[in-house]
Structure formats: structure tokens, C-alpha cells
């Protein structure tokens, strides 16, 4: 029986491996039949049934997944299931980064307006990731995860500035300033924002 689980790229890859194992088993059974050897077909039938149940279970989970747009939810082919699981994982990563940025506050009263505008932008992108069309969700992921993304630059500067190379630190500073303004950039650089 299929058990509910978190959908990850590993979920789909495990399913793909199971299908390959089933194909190997079917090939061996066919070869045995071709050679006239006795074959126990019940085991093969049980394996086919188990794989079908697993595919149907994962497919049903995808139908209800909130990180998929309506047009992405109804998949039954393993390659599409794999792609959907990867999308869920990537979107969750973007959401986690944005939720961290939502907590960002400045201790300086002069920065509050700039941080309020930042929070509005974060909220808009989060909404697109969770409620937008396929294209809106794709664009939101790009806006959060690509190297030139201001959200990614800000996330890096807040979470692990010591890991950034000097070039990336300077680049991130420029991206943040250009996108969110000088107040946000200076608050982050000077440690007024956490």
C-alpha cells in the first residue's frame, strides 16, 4: 500500500528506479518464458501492481500540492512526476529564503520606510510563488534564486556574509543598493538589520 510522504526530487527518482527494476524483472521473465523455463508470474503481477499504486499515490499527492499551479498538478508520467517534484523542491527553497527576508528588520528608525517597501516586495513575490500562474511562479523563482537576484544577494548578505568572496560581496552590495535602496544596503552592511 502506498504511504503518504513529502514530495521531493528523491521521491520521483526512487519511483524511477523502481520502474527500472520492474522493467529488468519483466525482461528476465520474458527471457525465461522464451526459453521454456517455468516462471512464477504472481511475483511479477505483484510488482506491477505495487508500482502502479505508487505512481497513482504520488500523482494524487501532486494534485493537491499547494506549490504547483493548477496546470502542473495532473501528471501521471514518471518524467512529469520527476519534474513536478523538482519544481516543488525549488519553489520551497525560494519560499524559505523569502520567509527569512520577511523577518528582516532594521534597528534604525530612519530605515523603517525602506524596510517596509522591502517587505511589500517580498510579500508580492511570495504570493506569486504560491498563487500565481505557471509563468508567474517561474518568474518569481528566477527573481529569488538567480545569481543576479536582489533577493538572493540580500539573503546571502544576511545569512552568510563571511562565506562570500570579495567580488560577490561587492556585487551583492551593488545589487541590493540598486534594487532596495541605500538605506537597506547600509543597514545590512553595518549590521543594523537582522
**Residues 121, 52 within the same domain:** no
193 forms beta bridges with 106
pTM value is: 0.78
- The percentage of the chain sitting over the pLDDT mark of 90, rounded to a whole number, equals 58
HSE (side-chain half, CA atoms, 13 Å) at 32: 12
Is residue 17 situated within a structural domain? yes
Whether residue 148 contacts residue 174, with contact meaning beta carbons closer than 8 Å, is answered with no
Model confidence pLDDT, tens digit, residues 144-186: 999 899 999 999 999 888 899 999 999 999 999 999 999 999 9
Taking only the tens place, the pLDDT of each residue in 94-141 is 999 999 999 999 888 889 999 999 999 999 999 999 999 999 999 999
**Residue 48: inside a domain:** yes
Domain-located, residue 35: yes
In this structure, the answer to whether residues 13 and 57 fall within a common structural domain is: yes
176 in any annotated domain: yes
Mark residue 180 as left, alpha or beta (left: phi above 0; alpha: psi -120 to 50; beta: remaining).
alpha
Q: Report how far residue 55's alpha carbon sits from residue 12's, in angstroms, rounded to the nearest whole number.
A: 9
Both 97 and 170 in one domain: the answer is yes
Distance CA 3, CA 7 (A): 12
pLDDT at 9 over 80: no
142 and 96 within one domain: yes
Query: In which domain, by residue range, is 154 found?
Result: 92-189
- Say if residue 180 is in the same domain as residue 100: yes
Q: How many domains does one find in the chain?
A: 2
Q: Are 115 and 168 in a shared domain?
A: yes
Amino acid at each position: 500500500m502506498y504511504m503518504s510522504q513529502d514530495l521531493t526530487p528523491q521521491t520521483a527518482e526512487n519511483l524511477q528506479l523502481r520502474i527500472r527494476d520492474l522493467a529488468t524483472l519483466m525482461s528476465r521473465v520474458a527471457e525465461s518464458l522464451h526459453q521454456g523455463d517455468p516462471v512464477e508470474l504472481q511475483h511479477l503481477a505483484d510488482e506491477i501492481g505495487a508500482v502502479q499504486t505508487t505512481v497513482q499515490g504520488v500523482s494524487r499527492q501532486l494534485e493537491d500540492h499547494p506549490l504547483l499551479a493548477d496546470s502542473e498538478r495532473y501528471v501521471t508520467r514518471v518524467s512529469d512526476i520527476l519534474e513536478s517534484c523538482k519544481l516543488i523542491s525549488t519553489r520551497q527553497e525560494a519560499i524559505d529564503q523569502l520567509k527569512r527576508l520577511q523577518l528582516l528588520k532594521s534597528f534604525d528608525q530612519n530605515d523603517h520606510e525602506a524596510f517596509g517597501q522591502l517587505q511589500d516586495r517580498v510579500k508580492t513575490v511570495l504570493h506569486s510563488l504560491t498563487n500565481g500562474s505557471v509563468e508567474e511562479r517561474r518568474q518569481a523563482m528566477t527573481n529569488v534564486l538567480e545569481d543576479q537576484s536582489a533577493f538572493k544577494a540580500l539573503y546571502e548578505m544576511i545569512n552568510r556574509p563571511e562565506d562570500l568572496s570579495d567580488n560577490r560581496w561587492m556585487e551583492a552590495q551593488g545589487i541590493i543598493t540598486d534594487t532596495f535602496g541605500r538605506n537597506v544596503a547600509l543597514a545590512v552592511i553595518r549590521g543594523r538589520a537582522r
